[in-house]
A and B are shown apart, each in its own frame.
Chain A
Amino acid sequence: MIEIISSGVLSPGEGCSPKVCIVGSGPAGFYTAQQLIKARQDVEVDIYERLPVPFGLVRFGVAPDHPEVKNVINTFTQTARQSRCSFYGNVDVGTDVSVEELRQAYHAVVLSYGAEGNRTMGVPGEDLAGVHAAKDFVGWYNGLPSCRQLRPDLSSETAVILGQGNVALDVARVLLSPLDILKMTDITQPALEALAESQVRRVLIVGRRGPVQVACTVKEVREMVNLPNARPEMVGADFEGVAEALKDLPRPRKRLTELMLKTALEVPGEKEQQRRSEASHAWGFRFFRSPVEILADPERSRTAGIRLAVNRLEGSGEGARAVLTGEVEDVTCGLVISSIGYKSLPIDPSLPFDSRKAIVLNNMGRVQRAAGLYCSGWLKTGPTGVIATTMNNSFDTARSLVEDMDLGTLDVSVVKPGSQSVAALLEKRGVKPVTFSDWEKIDRVELSRGEAVGKPREKLSVTDHNGHRQEMAL
């Protein structure tokens, strides 16, 4: 078949193509890029990422024993390899180049940099040794450069996790999983070694409200129930009235609550009873408890326990509120992990930011009062949801942006320099971006190092500008 190509068709890169810049290379950034490239044949997309490596929380947030969730990296890799998509790692937007400079270089800028901060408990003792934000603990076992030096103290028997979402359960599971399982995952070697020495035998997962209000989902609870060498220890009284409430619950909440009820109240069969009595580890939900203070061991100025206020519930369902009863309870523990939510930060003072919700103010992904500026992912809607949620959210933003281009709301007839001008700025500032094929070299090294030790990959400890130069010498 002979294909006739009409002359006069502009090829991409010849001045007139709309150029979009995406800040952040996690699921939000990549799914936004994917849709933009699919929707318009003339769009060129550049993705900037602060770290030398892409993929954001898929790489640094998803638990090591959830490798299937990370398959989405293959989808993102296909996008990155498109000729109209370019990846620039090791570029810190806000420090190395400003949002304003990006807006001048590109027709549109999409902020997809997620939530790098934490919500804090706001209680005395929060900065004691032995207290960590879940985000940092997860970053530690997943090899996030800024968390490499965390050195969590795993020498006491009990760990208390505040928060009952899936991140809290991930942390519990990593603390209690048999080494034989962990050592076949992509958990980092230093974390594996620390966990091999861990004395932690009991993990309490504490929430302010009751069983019907937990933020985790059924798959993760099932994983806890089925965890080898670990038995559930729940407080039956916490489940008063829950069985009666089941029938009115929507299906997802119902299935989750049924599982928790069964685990808490049902007497298991003989085989399971024996398994539980032989288990050397234990885990349990503790409900109706809020942190009041982290208690210190005065001699060693580190965590010795946590004081919890006892709550009761007013109202029911999603809207139920925890109300203090005045009672408190002290729990001995040496490790406290607060898993009460991530938080986005404003990387540029010019961004219209809602500090309460910690999101950039927007309508359907269009940043308010800022033509040509968009947002997707957690920065747009807040830091909850799984990859599927972020995918839909990002597709929405992409549609808004494409609509604006199609309707002329966004003027793409003006020629913009795109990455050329940004590259010049970065060079002047001594910043050397990492390309996608640079990442693929790192990827191959990680895969082969992993293969040598029976793991899917052994993550390199890659850091920022300095670290990048060391790694590239490989």
Chain B
Amino acid sequence: MAAAAVRSSMGLTLRLSRALPDCSNCPFHRSNGCVSGVSNLQRRGSFDSFRTINRHLQTSKETLTVPLLFVFKGLYHGEEGRSNAEDPDDVVNVVYVDRSGQRIPVKAKVGDNVMYLAQRHGIELEGSCEASLACSTCHVYVNSSHFDKLAEPDEREDDMLDMAPMLQENSRLGCQIILKPELEGIELTLPKVTRNFYVDGHVPKPH
């Protein structure tokens, strides 16, 4: 608990000293349209990535100048969403169904990105393009009761979904799903995309 408080306050310090951009006010971030992936870098909290942030900022269309004052390499493990301790109204319970069919319940928060959330909990969901709508490796199936509660996909998300193997009606890219209270109880199933997952030789049929 103490460690979490230290981490949160470091996040605040990094923001105040402008070492990290404060993504919460950026319209791209709010509409989940941040293609530079900077906001998601923070969420993921992997901090051999100041250089990566810089690179992202350079390659994104809008230019943000971020003075880097410190390198907190390895010290800051970003917690996304609110920086305060748990507020019950913020909690969203999620269930991941992994590729072997195992159900993994996760207690998450409003604002969590479903792809990074999975990764933080050791669920095997890759995100090779780091949430910039340039791949389909975070492809998930959303359970029917929650599918319609999600915002319509951006045309760019649909373009990437088109590349995903075993595309279904309820397919979405995990990196584009941000948890909100209405998504309480959402179930996200990882597609069984590989041929030899099953020891008994069963090959799932494409949908």
Contacts and interface: CB of A to CB of B under 8 A. Distances in A.
B17 interface: no
A395 B192 CA distance: 12
Interface stretch (B24-32, B78-86, B158-166, B180-188): B158-166
A388 B37 contact: no
B137 A388 contact: yes
A256 B158 CA distance: 11
A391 B188 CA distance: 21
A252 B207 CA distance: 13
Contact of B194 (A66, A81, A217, A392): A392
Main secondary structure of the interface of A (DSSP, over half): helix
B52 interface: yes
B160 A447 contact: no
A451 B134 contact: no
A388 B195 contact: no
Interface in B116-172: 126, 128-130, 132-137, 156, 158-160, 162-165, 167
Interface residues of B, number: 35
B156 A219 contact: yes
Interface in A211-226: 217-219, 222
A227 to B, nearest CB: 16
Nearest to A34: B126
Given A71-B129, A218-B159, A447-B55, A388 B196 contact: no
Contacts of B107: none
B134 A69 contact: yes
A391 B137 contact: yes
B15 interface: no
Q: Secondary structure of the B side of the interface?
A: loop
Contacts of A81: 48
B197 interface: yes
Interface residues of A, number: 34
Contact of A364 (B133, B134, B195): B195
Contact of B59 (A77, A218, A389, A456): A456
Contacts of B128: 71-72, 75, 387-388, 391
Contacts of B159: 217-219, 222, 255
A392 B129 contact: no
Interface of B: 35, 37, 46, 48-49, 51-52, 55, 58-59, 126, 128-130, 132-137, 156, 158-160, 162-165, 167, 193-197, 199
27 contacts: A66-B134, A68-B59, A68-B133, A68-B134, A71-B129, A71-B130, A72-B128, A74-B130, A217-B162, A219-B159, A222-B159, A251-B162, A255-B158, A364-B195, A386-B135, A386-B163, A387-B137, A388-B164, A392-B165, A396-B194, A396-B195, A396-B196, A399-B194, A399-B196, A403-B196, A447-B51, A456-B55
Given A364-B195, A388-B163, 11 more contacts: A68-B134, A69-B134, A71-B128, A75-B128, A78-B48, A251-B162, A255-B158, A386-B135, A386-B163, A403-B199, A456-B58
